Amino acid sequence: MRIKRLDITGFKSFMERSVFTFDEGVTGIVGPNGCGKSNVVDAIRWVMGEQSAKNLRGRGMEDVIFNGSENKPPLSMAEVSLTFIVDDTDQLAPQYQGFSEVTVTRRLFRNGDSEYLINKTLCRLLDITELFLGTGVGTKAYSIIEQGRVGLIVSSKPEDRRHLLEEAAGVTKYKARRKAAERKMEATDANLLRVTDITNELEKRLDALSRQAKKAEKYKKLKARMRDIDLHAATHRQLELMAEKKMLQSRLENLGSEERESLDRVKELEETITRRRTELEAETAALQALAAEVHTLESSLQRDTQEMTYGKRDLEETRARVAAAQVELDGLLARKAEMSEAMAAREAELSGIAGSWKEDEVAMQVAQEELRRVSQLQTEVALRLEQERAGLVAVATRLANHESNLVNLARQRGDLGARRAKLQGELETLRAQEQTLENVRGDVAKRVEDTRHLAAELAERKGQEEDALTRTRAAFTENEIEVIALREELSDKRSRLSTLEDIQKNYDGFDRGVRAVMTRAGVQAREQGIFGLVADVINVTPRYERAVEAALGERLQHVIVESRDKGVELVDYLKGHAEGRGSFLPVPALDTLPAPLEPDFSQPGVLAHALREVTCEEALTPLVQLLLGDVVIVQDVATARAWTESGGPACTLVTVEGEVFRPDGTIVGGESEGAAVGALQKKREIAELATEVARVEERYNEILTRHYTLQKQMGHAEGVLKGLAKNQHAEELNLASQEKDLHKAGEDLARVRERVRALEVEEGQLTQSHQALEHEEEASRGEVAHGQADREGREERVKQLVSEQESLRLRAETANGELTGLRIKVAAGSERGESARKELDSLVSQRQDMETRITRLQATVVEGGARVEELARRTTDTEGGLSQRAEEHRLAAEGLEARRAAHTTASAEVREQDATFRELRGRVDELMQGLSQISLREREIALELEHLAAGIRERHQVELANELHKYHMLAALAPETEAELKDLRAQVEKMGEINLTAIDEHAELSKRYDFLTAQKKDLQSSIEQLKEAIQRIDATSRERFKQTFDVVNEKFQAIFPRLFGGGRASLILTNEGPGGEPGVEIVAQPPGKKLQSVNLLSGGEKALTAVGLIFGIFLIKPTPFCLLDEVDAPLDEGNVGRYNDMVKEMSKQSQFILITHNKRTMEVSNTLYGVTMEEPGISKLVSVRMREAGAANDDKVTAA
C-alpha cells in the first residue's frame, strides 16, 4: 500500500483545491518559510484521524478551516482526501481487501459538524483508525516524523519511546483490541450491576409475594378446620360443666351439716375462754408489780458492787503511779549533775577554736584583694584587645569592599557599553513591531464584535428554551407525583375489591351447607332453580343496612329457591353428602301474602318501613315482602318501647343500631359475630369499589398518557437545549479566544510602546551611569590605599596587648591558688566551732526539759498520796452497805419465782383453750367459704353453659344440645387442640385483607427472576472470558514486542556506524514504568567520544541518532510511506550526504515524502513540489519531475 494522491481543499492556507500526486521513490516538498509546506503534513495527519488541535498547531479544530486573507473571505468547510493504492500483500480489514484503491476523506464544517468517509461512504473515526492499525501508518506512528518529533524521539521518556517499537511490532492493534475489551468489560460490569439491582429488587418482591401467597393458602385451610374443632371442644366442655355441677350439689349438702355442728361447739368454748382470761389478767398485774420490786433491788445491788470494784482498782493504780514517779524523779536528779559538767567542757573548747579562726580569715581577705586587682587589670586588657581586633576586622572589611568595588566598576563599564549597542538594535525592531500590531488589533476587534452579537442571540434563545424546559419539568414532576399516587390508589382498591369478591365468591363465613349448595350451583344457579342468597339479591339504603341486617339475622344466608320441592331436593343433597345444614326459602306468590304494614310516621323516632328501603328484582318482590313486610325502622330503643307501650300494631321493630324487638316479646341486641354480619355492607362496598376502580383507571390512563407526552416533550426540549448550549459554548469559547487575542494584541502593542519608551529612557540613563562609574572608581582607589596603612598599625597594637594579657593570666592563677588554700582552712575552723556550739545548745535544751519534768514528777508524788488515802476510806464504807442489800434481794426473788410458776400454768391452760377455739373458728370459716365458692361456681357454670350455647349458636347457627350426640362418644380434645382453635381464630382475625391473586403473581415473578438470574450468570461468564482475552492479548503483545525489539536493536546497531561514519549505539530495556511495561533507552557513542546517553549529544547527533532508529524500524517493518518534515535541518553537509544515501536505499522498499530546505536532499527527490504564497495567506503548488528535467536539460514546470 502506498499513497497515490492527496487532495486538499480549504485546509489552513490551501484555499483552493490542491492535488499532490505521489509516485514511487522520493518526493520532495520545498518552499520558503511560512509558505505552508508543513500544512501538507498537518493535512495528512488530520485526514488519518488526528484529534488534537495542538498537534496541528492550532487552538481549536476550527483553526484548520481557511480563515480568509486580506482579499479572500473565510471558507465554511475544510476537506482532505488521501488515496492509497492497495496490493495483495497489504493486511487490511476483510471489507477493504477487494479494492485496488482506498480513499480516506475527512470534512469539517465551521458549525462544528464533521464527516469521515472511506471510498466516499460515511464511516466512523474508529473505522479509519482500525484501517491503519498494524500498518505502521497513523497519526502517532513512525511513518510521519517532523523536525520537532526527531528531538522528541531521543529526549522523551523511555516509556514514550516504546510506542515506536510497538507500532513496528504490530502491538497497537492488540492494544486497541485490549481497550475495546476493557470497554466491553466495563459495559458488561454495568449491565451486571443493573441486573443485580433488578434481581435484588425482585428477591424483595418475591419474598413479599411469597408471604402473601402463603397467607392466602393458609387462610383457605384455616377456615376448614375451625368449625369441627370448635363444636368438638364445646360439646365436651358442656359435658364437663354438667358433671361438675352435679358433684357440687352433693358437696353443698355435706358441708351444710358440718357447718351447723361446728358453730355450736365454737359458741360453748368462747364463753369458757372469756372467763379464764379475766382471772389471768388480774394475776398478771400482781406478778408484774412484784417483778418491778425485784428488779429495783437487783439494780441497786449491782451498782454498789460495781462501785466497790472500781474503787479498789483505782486505789491500786494510784499507788503504782506514785511509786513509778518517785523512781523517775531520783534518776533525773542524778543526770542533771552529770549534764552540768559536760556543758562546762564544751564552753572551754569553743573559746579556743574562735581565736584561731579569726587569724585565718584576715589572711584570706588579703589574698582576695590581690586577686581582685589582677582580675580588674585582665578585664581592661581584654577590652582594649577586643576593641583593636574589631577595628582590624572593620578595616579589613572596608578594604575588601573597596577592592571588590573596583573590580565591579570595571565590569559595569564594559557591560554598559555592550548594553547601549544592543538597545539601539532593539529599538529599531520594536518600532517595526508597533506598526504591525496596530493592524492586527483592528482585525481582531472586528471579529470580536461579530462573535459577541452571535453569542448574545444564542444566549437569548437558550434562555427561552430553558424557561420552557423548566415549565415542562415542573408539569412533569407534578404529573409523575399524581401518577404514583393514582397507581398506589388503584393497587389498593383493586386488592380490596379482589379480596371482597373472592370472599363473596367463596361464601367465606357462611354455613358449610350454604357454601356447598352455592358452590355446586356455580354460575348456572338460575337454570337450576336457585336465585341465590337473601344477602345477594337485595339492595338496601346504606343508612339502614345495619338495621335490615339485624332484622333479617340468619335469614340473610338463606338460599332462595323457585319452589318448595327444590328446597327439599337441596336438603336431601346436603344430608346425602354430609355437607352440613342449610335454610331454603321458596319464592311465594304475591296474592298469598298479607298486605304490608303501614306504620304511622307521625310518631317521633319512627324512621322508615324496611320494605320501602330495600330493592330487588321484580320476581323476588314477594319474598322481600314476606321477610320485611312487618319490619319498622325506629331511631332507638326508647322509640321502640314507646311504640309498644302506646299499643301500636304488632310488628318487628329494629333500631338503626341493630336492636330488634319482635312481636312475641323477644329482644335481640349486643355485638354480633357471624357470617351475616356486614354482608350487605360488603356487597355495597364491592359495587362502590368496582365503580371507583373504573373511575381511577380512567383517570390513571389519562394522567399516564399526559405523563408520556410530557416526557417526550421534555426529551425534545433537552435535546434542543443541549444543541443550543453546545453552540453557545462554542461561540463563548470562540469569543473568549478572540477577546483573549484582542486583549493580547492590545497588551502586546502597549508592551511594545512601553518598551520603546523604557529603552529610550534607559539609553540616556546608561550614558549618565558610565560617567558616574568613572568618578566612583577613582574614589575607591584612594580608599584602598588609606585602608592598607590603617590595617598595619592595628595589627602591631594587637600583638602587644596579647603579650600583656598572658602575663596577667599567670599572676591571677598564683593568687587564686593561695586564696583557695586559705578558704579551705577557714571553712574547716568554722565547721569545728559550729559543731561544738550545736553540742552545747543541745545540752542546754536537754537540761531545761529535765528540770520541767522534775517539777511535774514532784507534784505527781504529793497529789498521789492524798488520792490513796481518800480511796481507802470510800472502799471501807461501801463494803458495809453491800451485805444488807444482798439479803433483801434474795428474799424478793424467791417470792417472784413462786408467783411466776403459778401464772405460767394458768396461761398454758388459756392458750390451749384459745388454740382449740381458733381451730374450730377456722374450720367454720373454711366451711362457709367452701359453701360460698360452691354457690358461686354453680352460678358460673350456669352462665358458662349459657354463653357456650350462645357462642356456638352465633358462630355456627346450631344448638349445642343438638350436637352432643355427634361428639359425646369421641375422646376429649387435647389441651393443645383447644389452643389450636384459639390460635386459628386469632390468625384469621390478624390476617386482615387477603391478596388471593398473590399466588399467580408469585409464579409469574419467579419466572422472570429465573430468567434474570440466568442472564446474570451469562454476564459473569462473559466478564471472565473478556479477562482471559485480555490476558492472551497481553501475552501476545509482550512476545511480539520482545521479538521486534531484538531485531530493531540489531538493525540500529548496524545503521548507526553508517550514519556517523563509525561509533556504536544500542537499545536497552529499562525497568517497568508507571504503566507496568519497560521503556526503551538509547545509548550512543559517536566516533571519538565515550559511550553516553543520547540526552548529552549535540542537536545534529540527536537528529542523526533518531533517524538511525527510524531507519532501523523501517528495515524490519517498512511502512507504505514515510513523511520526513525538515528532519535534515540540524545536519551538516557530511551527515546530510549519509542521510540521503540511506533515504535512497530505503526508498526501494517504501515511498518517501521529504519536506526540506537542503539542496542536496532536493537532488535525491524523483519529484519535487514547490509551495509558494504569491498572494499573502494563500498557498499554491507547482511541481517538477526531476528525472524529466535532467534528461531534457529543461525545467519543466506545470501548474498542479
- Other CB atoms within 10 A of residue 652 CB: 22
Question: Which range is most confident: 365-379, 525-539, 731-745, 984-998?
Answer: 525-539
In angstroms and rounded to an integer, the radius of gyration of the C-alpha atoms of the chain is: 66
CB hemisphere CA count around 326 (13 angstroms): 11
Between helices 171-506 and 679-956, what is the axis angle to 10°?
Answer: 60
CA 697 to CA 1050: how far, in whole Å?
82
Closest CA to 954 of 671, 1189, 1181, 540: 671
Q: Is 34 flagged in the annotation as binding?
A: yes
Tell whether 28 is in a known binding site.
no
| Local structure of 288: helix, strand or coil | helix
3-state secondary structure 710-721: HHHHHHHHHHHH
Q: Which of 483, 494, 496 has the alpha carbon at shortest distance from 700?
A: 483
Assess contact for 960 and 946: CB atoms under 8 A.
no
Q: What average pLDDT score do residues 110-136 get?
A: 83
**Domain 1-143+1125-1133+1157-1200 listed as CATH 3.40.50.300:** yes
To the question of whether residue 509 is assigned a binding role by annotation, the answer is: no
Q: Band of the pLDDT at 334, cuts 50, 70, 90?
A: confident
CA dist 588 and 332 (Å) reads: 145
pLDDT tens string 130-159? 787 666 666 566 677 776 666 667 677 777
The reply to whether 32 sits in an annotated binding site is yes
> Where do we find the cell 372469756?
274
Instruction: Detail the DSSP E strand segments found in 31-172.
Output: 77-85, 101-109, 114-118, 121-123, 144-146
Confidence (pLDDT) at 499: 65
Supply the pLDDT for residue 117. Answer: 94
DSSP H or E segment with residue 563: none
Q: Where are the domains of the chain?
A: 1-143+1125-1133+1157-1200, 510-673
- DSSP per-residue string spanning 925-940: HHHHHHHHHHHHHHHH
- Is pLDDT at 973 greater than 60 in this prediction? yes
Q: What is the pLDDT of residue 654?
A: 92
CATH class, 510-673 region: alpha beta
Does the annotation flag 439 for ligand binding? no
Q: Residue 627 has what pLDDT?
A: 86
Is pLDDT above 60 for 1110? yes
What percent of the chain is predicted at pLDDT more than 70?
86
Whole-number mean pLDDT of the chain? 77
pLDDT score for 82? 92
Give the C-alpha separation, 197 to 211, whole Å.
Answer: 21
Average pLDDT over residues 1073-1093: 75
The residues, ordered by sequence, that sit 6+ positions from 587 with a Cβ below 8 Å of its Cβ are 531, 560, 561, 562, 563, 619, 620, 622, 623
1122 has binding-site annotation? no
Residue 805 clears pLDDT 50, i.e. is over it? yes
Alpha-carbon gap, residue 295 to 1046, rounded angstroms: 131
pLDDT at 947 over 70: yes
pLDDT tops 50 at residue 1189: no
pLDDT tier for residue 520 given thresholds of 50, 70 and 90: confident
Per-residue confidence (pLDDT) for residue 905, from 0 to 100: 81
What's the average model confidence in pLDDT over 959-967? 75
**pLDDT band for position 1158 (50/70/90)?**
confident
**Residue 38 is labelled as binding a ligand:** yes
Encode pLDDT of 19-31 as tens digits. 998 888 899 999 8
Sequence-distant (≥ 6) Cβ neighbours of residue 281 within 8 angstroms: none
Q: 773-777, 905-909, 995-999: which has the highest mean pLDDT?
A: 905-909
- The DSSP secondary-structure symbol of 636 reads S
**Do 632 and 598 touch, CB atoms closer than 8 A?**
no
Q: Is 671 helix (H, G, I), strand (E, B) or coil?
A: coil
Task: Please give the residue that has the higher pLDDT: either 683 or 126.
Answer: 126
Q: What is the pLDDT of residue 503?
A: 64
97 Cβ partners below 8 Å, 6+ apart?
86, 90
**pLDDT classification of 7: cutoffs 50, 70, 90:** very high
What is the pLDDT, as a whole number, of residue 1197? 32
Residue 675 reports pLDDT greater than 60: no
What distances in angstroms separate CA 693 from CA 482, 489, 573, one per listed residue?
Answer: 16, 9, 39
With pLDDT > 90 as the criterion, what percentage of the chain qualifies?
A: 3
Segment of 131-145, 279-293, 573-587 carrying the highest mean pLDDT? 573-587
What's the rounded mean pLDDT across residues 525-533? 83
Question: Sign of dihedral through CA atoms 1160, 1163, 1167, 1173?
Answer: positive
**pLDDT > 50? residue 496:** yes
The tens digit of pLDDT for each residue in 229-283 reads: 777 778 877 788 888 877 887 777 777 777 777 777 777 777 787 777 777 777 7
Beta bridge partners of 1068: 1081
Report the pLDDT value the prediction gives residue 590, as an integer from 0 to 100: 55
CA 325 to chain centre: 91
Residue 853 has pLDDT above 80, yes or no: no
Residue 141 pLDDT: 63
- Ligand-binding annotation for 563, yes or no, is no
pLDDT score for 1152: 87
By the 8 A CB rule, do 65 and 77 touch?
Answer: yes
